[in-house]
């Protein structure tokens, strides 16, 4: 088994500097500095990856009953991070992707990409203390170059990864209890990219299973400088879970996107439709008729002043969506009506400003939603309490650079991904979409 390095990242407030280094031959023991597992003082965990070219780590923080975060652990992913280009203005968005980390809560699994070493690592989440991860098997080949996004199916027995560079492909895996990721056949993307990809135009963004697990959808950006090149959606029917097999050929449908940078994919509950962050605005794509060319319709809006609206998340409490623009550093709350038309409900500027708002995730705590935001320009995660539509309040900005430095771990604006595991999983019983 791949040797794993466990570092424990101490809380900025409570901790003493010390490094716990564990190189186990077999499954690693977890090194817990503040042992939450014996108490009920936290109810879930949040994860991001450091994405450092010198070594990639998943960092966890516990989520308290008040929604607030405390730094907890870091574990090596057995690989290295990556940067897709050298444009300083866009260095905040090194992967141009949504979902470099995926969590499947019911099966207690977490998967992460290693963009610089072309591998995917699977972990088991400790259900008693979900800030603690243990690797399942070693890093699995990603099938191509520069993996940037992963997705579990809803059943939790299959994972797909997209590789956005020259050897661009989608690679799916069935999940074996102790060997981990067992690759099936890969399918090429034919995006004519370089390795690593040169820019955000014409690159992949995200991979998601449809809510009924029958297909996999990949979002590919267009190029706003090429009129009419608004990006496209690639989809493959799932033929078998084990071995993980997609149909031989992708269905490729133009994405009717308003900003030509279709990026995120947030399903709209109960509808065959999803919301997409799209550079200068958002789109709602309706695939009620299907995913073939010409079947996908859009209702889209511009968000005034936005240029890099990319990530999105949905809140049950407000019934609205939240999209993040990482260059303008704002979050826009979007309402989607019964006709699937989006409108702006409110905008928020996470403190202290210029945060580089990136990936978002929502956790439900005793019927109350909290929005978590990756803020790479201030090496932080922000927390916003959601009290209803157009009623969000920022309650925390937690900077990870100090607690990380105290255990010799680098966290910079290359940090990426945001996923959540909650101990109480009753929220999972609410189905996302039509089965």
396 to 168, 351, 375, 385, 405: CA distances (angstroms): 38, 9, 12, 9, 20
Taking the least distance from each CB to ligand NAG, the nearer of 123 and 232 is 232
Dihedral (C-alpha) 91, 219, 102, 147: value to the nearest 10 degrees? -60
Tell me the closest approach of the beta carbon of residue 24 to ligand NAG, in angstroms. Answer: 20
- Identity of the residue, 288 or 391, whose beta carbon is nearer to ligand NAG in the bound complex: 391
Whichever of 137 and 281 has its CB closer to ligand NAG, that residue is 281
Residue (107 or 354) nearer to ligand NAG, CB: 354
Which residues in 353-405 belong to E strands, given as ranges? 360-365, 368-375, 380-386, 392-399
Which positions touch ligand NAG (CB under 6 A)? 52, 54-55, 92, 190-192, 199, 201-202, 223, 226, 229-230, 256, 258, 298-300, 327, 329, 354, 356, 377, 387-388, 391, 408, 410
Strand residue runs (E) in 226-280 = 232-240, 245-246, 251-254, 266-267, 273-278
Residue with tokens 């609205």: 320
Put residue 156 in one of left, alpha, beta given phi > 0 → left and psi -120 to 50 → alpha. left
Q: Are 253 and 235 in contact (CB under 8 A)?
A: yes
The tokens describing 373, both together, are 């935001």
Give the nearest distance from C-beta 410 to ligand NAG in angstroms: 4
CB of 128 vs ligand NAG, minimal distance in Å: 30
- Residue closer to ligand NAG by CB (options 80, 313) is 80
In angstroms, the CA 114 to CA 177 distance is 21
8-state DSSP, 81: -
Q: Taking the complex as a whole, how short is the minimal distance between the CB of residue 198 and ligand NAG, in angstroms?
A: 7
Distances (CA, A) of 291 to 8, 201, 319, 433: 45, 22, 26, 16
Q: How far is the CB of 181 from ligand NAG (least distance, A)?
A: 26
Tell me whether residue 140 or residue 253 sits nearer to ligand NAG (CB atom).
253
Cα–Cα distance measured from residue 185 to residue 148, given in angstroms and rounded to the nearest whole number: 18
Closest distance between ligand NAG and the C-beta of residue 428, in Å? 25
Rounded to a whole number of angstroms, the minimum distance from the CB of residue 202 to ligand NAG is 4
Could you tell me how many residues make up the chain?
435
Between 58 and 258, CB nearer to ligand NAG: 258
CA 107/CA 125 separation, integer angstroms: 9
The least distance separating ligand NAG from the CB of residue 385, rounded to whole angstroms, comes to: 9
For ligand NAG, the closer of residues 387 and 424 by Cβ is 387
Whole-Å CA distances, 284 to 147, 289, 318, 371: 26, 14, 18, 21
């Amino acid at each position: 088994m791949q040797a794993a390095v466990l570092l424990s990242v101490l809380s900025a407030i409570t901790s003493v500097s010390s490094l716990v280094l564990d190189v186990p031959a077999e499954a690693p023991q977890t090194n817990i500095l503040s042992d939450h597992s014996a108490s009920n003082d936290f109810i879930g965990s949040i994860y991001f990856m450091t994405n450092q070219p010198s070594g990639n780590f998943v960092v966890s923080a516990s989520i308290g009953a008040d929604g607030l975060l405390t730094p907890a652990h870091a574990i090596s992913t057995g690989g290295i991070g990556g940067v897709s280009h050298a444009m300083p203005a866009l260095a905040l968005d090194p992967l141009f992707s949504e979902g470099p980390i995926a969590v499947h809560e019911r099966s207690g699994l977490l998967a992460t990409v290693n963009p610089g070493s072309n591998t995917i690592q699977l972990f088991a989440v400790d259900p008693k203390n979900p800030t603690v991860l243990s690797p399942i098997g070693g890093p699995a080949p990603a099938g191509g170059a520069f993996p940037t996004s992963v997705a579990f199916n809803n059943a939790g027995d299959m994972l797909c990864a997209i590789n956005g560079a020259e050897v661009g492909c989608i690679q799916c895996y069935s999940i074996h209890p102790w060997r981990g990721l067992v690759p099936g056949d890969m399918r090429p993307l034919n995006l004519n990219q370089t390795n690593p990809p040169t820019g955000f135009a014409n690159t992949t963004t995200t991979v998601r299973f449809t809510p009924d697990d029958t297909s996999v959808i990949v979002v590919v950006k267009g190029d706003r400088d090429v009129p009419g090149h608004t990006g496209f959606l690639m989809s493959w029917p799932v033929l078998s879970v084990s071995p993980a097999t997609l149909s031989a050929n992708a269905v490729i449908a133009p994405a009717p996107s308003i900003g030509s940078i279709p990026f995120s994919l947030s399903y709209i509950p109960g509808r065959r439709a999803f919301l997409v962050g799209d550079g200068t605005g958002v789109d709602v794509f309706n695939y009620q008729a299907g995913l073939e060319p010409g079947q996908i319709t859009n209702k889209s809006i511009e968000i005034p002043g936005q240029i890099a609206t990319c990530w999105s998340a949905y809140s049950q409490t407000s019934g609205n969506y939240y999209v993040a623009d990482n260059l303008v550093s704002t979050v826009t709350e979007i309402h989607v009506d019964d006709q699937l038309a989006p409108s702006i409900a409110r905008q928020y500027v996470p403190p202290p400003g210029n945060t580089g708002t990136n990936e978002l995730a929502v956790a439900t705590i005793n019927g109350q939603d909290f929005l978590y935001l990756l803020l790479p320009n201030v090496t932080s995660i922000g927390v916003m309490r959601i009290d209803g539509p157009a009623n969000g309040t920022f309650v925390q900005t937690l900077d990870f650079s100090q607690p990380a430095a105290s255990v010799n771990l680098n966290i910079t604006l290359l940090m990426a991904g945001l996923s959540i595991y909650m101990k109480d999983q009753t929220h999972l019983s609410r189905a996302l979409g039509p089965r």
